[in-house]
Amino acid sequence: MRELLTRLGPAFIKVGQALAARPDLLPPDFIAELELLQDRIPPFDDARARALIEEELGAPASQVFSRISASPVAAASLGQVYRATLAVDPSKTLRISPAPPFGPDFVTNGAPSSSSSPKARSLLSSLPADTPVEVAVKVQRPGVRETIGLDVFILRSAVALLKSAKNVNTDLPALVDEWSSSLFGELDYRIEEANGTLFKSLYGRLDGVYVPAMVPSLCRKRVLVMEWVEGGRLRSASDSVLALERRRESGGSSASSTAPSPAPVSAFSSPAASFSAVPALSAEAELRLVDVGVRCSLEQMMSVGFFHADPHQGNFIRRSSDGKLAYIDFGMCARIDDATRRALLTASVHLANREFGSLADDMLALGFFPPGTQRSVVAPALTGVFARAMDGGIQSLSFQTLSADLGKTMYDYKFRLPTYATLLVRSLTVLEGIARSADREYPGLLQSAYPWIARRLLQSPSPELRAALRSLLYKGNQFRFDRLESLLLQAARSPPRPAAMVSLAESSSNHPSAAAASSSEGEQNQVTAAGGALGLLLSPDAAFVREILVDELAKGLDSGFGGDPSSGFDAEL
């Protein structure tokens, strides 16, 4: 099936990649095989690629780049990537990206000269001082838009016939529409440039995260120029994918002979033999990168609202110069509204605390069920799914197993996972697979993420999250001091967020809370760093928690002096 999709072309390759992220539609064996479509795709002709570069930039490639790889270092369904050096004047100081020397498979054009075209000189003279010199040049496959348009039309017609002829639970035409709309967005590299620039501004300050810079003045609809990242791919996302790769390498599967074989070296998972290999990381170092990825994913999905929507392991690079986790390929990014982000966070809290009844309500709020669904019908089945997932405790929760079990239940009840939920589960499954391959005793992603979740819950000004916190701290009318203590201790383990990290809505509209966040979080970070759980409780953003504590202490004192426990401080005091 995978090889057939590869031969059919880019649209069908993308179909396979999209289906690989849908555990509610296909069994695990199919998903594991389709994930291999993230590997190398046969490249198109280099001469055509250079001609397209020159057409889009309006200047000879040899005058814009002093050196460029003779062949692509990576090829995907929509385009392929070359490594290059900008042909900047030696007197112009630009940022030098750490990278090994070029090998013999690079074409050297030399420094810019007075004979360069006016267009080339104009492009290069306008580059800001922080522009990286070592760059990756992504070039779109010729005719890919027309090919995909025709393929989408044929595919949509075919699935419509299939749905009418067979008893298929899923709305297949809607699925194709959902996928094709994001796919056509990927065909305009100017959108990817804007996505990458925004992603860097939002998450580039996170500890352990690296986001390469774009070169906006050289980005066009079919050509994208961005900073080169030297490094290696993270481990495979799952044991099943690892096994399939080994089987293919040993001759057990007939992969296309024209496709370059994957190799764990260089940026964009480059197979170029001239590049220096990146040493394999220790299990401990790999797990540190997983923790970085989990924290960044939580910021994207549950805090800011702008997220990297193509989270397969090929888009994570471990940067060789400093060991940071680098994100690449921003063609598919998406947004999550405030209400959904809050529901995701409360659902995580309810899952961690085994409050499955509340979790079923969260699923309704998250749009997992179509309008009119009766909660009483699906709640028992969902409770069973989550109870089985948490049977061994929070440390044994496997997102891969949970997504498969949840997908089966959703299929049986004719429901469909929302797009954002699919992407979130896939992202966490990728990180979990990396962690499990590094350490079989890895405690689990939810346990790793819970400190961040606890800190966010305790400090959020959102009325909905404060209501969720209240419901968590009370059992009937009884206040649970042990639950608050547990949340504080967990939250103290999470590093403070960077100053002025606000939601996407706030950052894009110059919201006044953005300025306040910088001051408030700066003070809070100093307090919590020094005082742990107590420092967190005394921080400015924990005022709501202190109010609850004071109220409960007042009730306790009032009760002790014989007053009405519900009346707070009594006049007798």
Q: Which of 280, 260, 279, 259 is nearest to 270 (CA)?
A: 260
Question: Per-residue pLDDT tens for 134-160?
Answer: 999 999 999 888 888 888 888 888 888
Rounded to an integer, what is the distance from CA 466 to the centroid of its chain?
A: 27
Least confident of 173-177, 381-385, 410-414, 501-505: 501-505
For 551, the enclosing helix (H) or strand (E) is helix 543-560
State both tokens at 326.
């680098």
Cβ burial of 346 (10 Å; 0-12, 13-18, 19+) is buried
Spatial separation of the C-alpha atoms in residues 511 and 495, rounded to whole Å: 25
Output 403-411 pairs: Cβ under 8 A, ≥24 positions apart. 403/23, 403/429, 404/23, 404/28, 406/23, 406/24, 406/382, 407/22, 407/23, 407/24, 407/25, 408/24, 409/381, 409/382, 409/385, 410/24, 410/368, 411/24, 411/25, 411/169, 411/170
Single out the catalytic residue among 310, 362, 541, 558: 310
Helices 356-365, 375-389: axis angle to 10 degrees equals 120
pLDDT digits 0-9 by tens, 186-219: 899 999 999 999 999 999 999 999 999 999 999 9
- Burial of 371 by CB count in 10 Å (0-12 exposed, 13-18 middle, 19+ buried)? exposed
What mean pLDDT is predicted for residues 456-470? 87
pLDDT of 163 > 60? The answer is yes
Q: At what angle do helices 512-537 and 543-560 cross, to 10 degrees?
A: 40
Q: How confident is the model at residue 278 (pLDDT cuts 50, 70, 90)?
A: low
pLDDT tens digits, one per residue of 78-99: 899 999 999 876 555 555 444 4
User: What DSSP string runs through 279-301?
Assistant: PPPPHHHHHHHHHHHHHHHHIII
Interatomic CA distance for residues 504 and 497, integer angstroms: 15
Residue 550 pLDDT > 70, yes or no?
yes
Active site residue 130: no
Q: How far is 373 from 371, CA to CA, in rounded Å?
A: 6
Within a 13 Å sphere around the CA of 326, how many CA atoms are in the beta-carbon half? 24
- Parallel/antiparallel/unpaired status of strands 209-210 and 333-335: unpaired
